[in-house]
Amino acid sequence: MAFDIDRFARDSVRVGWEDLDLEVFRTDPLPPESLRTLRYMCDVEYHTVCYLRDMLVTRSRRETEVNAFMTMWNREEFWHGEALAHVLSLHGITVSYDELKAKRVKLGWKDRLAPLKQSVLSNLVGKDFVAVHMIWGAVNEWSASAAYKRLAVLEGHPGLAVLVRRIAAQEARHVAFYATQARTRLTDNARAQKLARLALSTAWRPVGSGIASDDEVTHVMGHLFGGAAGRKEIDAIDRHISKLPGMDGLTIVGDALDARGIAA
C-alpha cells in the first residue's frame, strides 16, 4: 500500500500529555529501572535532529517525499523527547540539551566531519544509498514502536501507558513510511539489496548505541526485551525485516540481544 505523504504532513501533530494525570508520579514514582530506560529513550528522541543533520547531506535530500517526511518526522520525534523529559522532570530528573551534548562528546560522538563522510559515502553508492537509509530507518522505527509498546505493558501506570501508546502510534506511521520506501526501492534492484544487506548485517546496532554507553544499551534491551514476551517482539521485527526484498534470513535484532547475553 502506498504511503500518503500529503496526508502524513497534514495530520502530523505533536504528541499531547496535558490531559493525562502524570502528577501522580510526584507521590508514586516509577521504579529506577524504568526511569533509566525512559532517560535513554528521551536521549534517543532528542538525538533525532543530529541524525537528520547527517542525512540532509546525503543523496536522500534530493528525494522530495523523503525530505517532506523527514521534516515532520523530526518534529514528532522532538515532541516524543519533550513528553519523556516531562515525565522525568516529575521525578526530579532534568534533561538538558547542554548535558546531552556533553555526554555525546564524552562518548566520542564528536565527529564534525560525520555528515561530510556520510555525504561522500552516499554519493559513491548513488541513489541506492537512499534504499539503505530507508531500510535502516524502518528497522529503527520498528524497534522504537516495539520499545514503547513493551514499556506500556511493563509499566501498568495508566497515564504513562496512554502516553507511550500515543508515541507508539506515531512510531507506527514512521515504520509505514520507511518500510514502504524500502520495499519500493529494493524491489528488482539487486545492487541496492546487496548494499542494504551488507549495511544491516555488519553495521546495524540497537537504536541509541552511538549515543549511550554500552551498559545503558544492555540495560534497556534487557529491561524491555528480556524474557519470552520481549523476545517475541524482537522476533517479529526480524520477521518484518526478512520479508523485505533481499533480506531473507536476516536476524539482526535477535542477534544483537544474543550478543549482549539477554536471554529469551
- The least CB distance from residue 9 to Fe ion, in Å, is 15
Decide whether 138 or 256 has the Cβ nearer to Fe ion: 138
- 244 in helix, strand or coil? coil
Which three cell numbers mark 128? 541506492
- The least CB distance from residue 198 to Fe ion, in Å, is 24
Considering only the stretches 73-81, 100-108, 236-244, 254-262, report the one whose residues sit in contact with Fe ion under the rule CB under 5 A: 73-81
Scan residues 31-70 and list those touching Fe ion (CB under 5 A). 45
* Residue 15 near residue 83 (C-beta atoms within 8 A): yes
Decide whether 173 or 185 has the Cβ nearer to Fe ion: 173
- The least CB distance from residue 66 to Fe ion, in Å, is 15
The amino acid occupying position 175 is: V
Decide whether 171 or 238 has the Cβ nearer to Fe ion: 171
171 is a site residue for Fe ion (CB under 5 A): yes
Q: Residue from 173, 174, 185, 197 that binds Fe ion (CB under 5 A)?
A: 174
For residue 123, how many other CB atoms are within 10 A of its CB?
A: 12
CA 20 – CA 2 distance, rounded (Å): 34
Considering only the stretches 7-15, 57-65, 117-125, 173-181, report the one whose residues sit in contact with Fe ion under the rule CB under 5 A: 173-181
> Largest Cα–Cα distance of the chain, in whole Å?
57
Nearest alpha carbon to residue 217 among 31, 13, 10, 36: 36
Nearest alpha carbon to residue 170 among 1, 22, 45, 86: 45
- The least CB distance from residue 241 to Fe ion, in Å, is 16
128 is a site residue for Fe ion (CB under 5 A): no
Q: Distance between alpha carbon 88 and the CA centroid of its chain, in Å?
A: 19
- CB neighbour list of residue 111: distance below 8 Å, 6 or more residues apart: 117
The amino acid occupying position 211 is: I
Scan residues 182-241 and list those touching Fe ion (CB under 5 A). none
- The least CB distance from residue 35 to Fe ion, in Å, is 18
Which three cell numbers mark 233? 517482539
Decide whether 77 or 238 has the Cβ nearer to Fe ion: 77
- The least CB distance from residue 84 to Fe ion, in Å, is 9
Q: Residue from 77, 128, 216, 238 that binds Fe ion (CB under 5 A)?
A: 77
Considering only the stretches 83-91, 121-129, 141-149, 228-236, report the one whose residues sit in contact with Fe ion under the rule CB under 5 A: 141-149
Which three cell numbers mark 101? 551534548
Phi, psi of 246 (to 5 degrees): 85, 0
Nearest alpha carbon to residue 209 among 66, 44, 81, 97: 44
- The least CB distance from residue 167 to Fe ion, in Å, is 6
- The least CB distance from residue 172 to Fe ion, in Å, is 9
CA 58 – CA 7 distance, rounded (Å): 25
Decide whether 25 or 69 has the Cβ nearer to Fe ion: 69
Q: Residue from 47, 80, 150, 223 that binds Fe ion (CB under 5 A)?
A: 80
Return residues touching Fe ion (CB under 5 A): 45, 77, 80, 141, 144, 171, 174
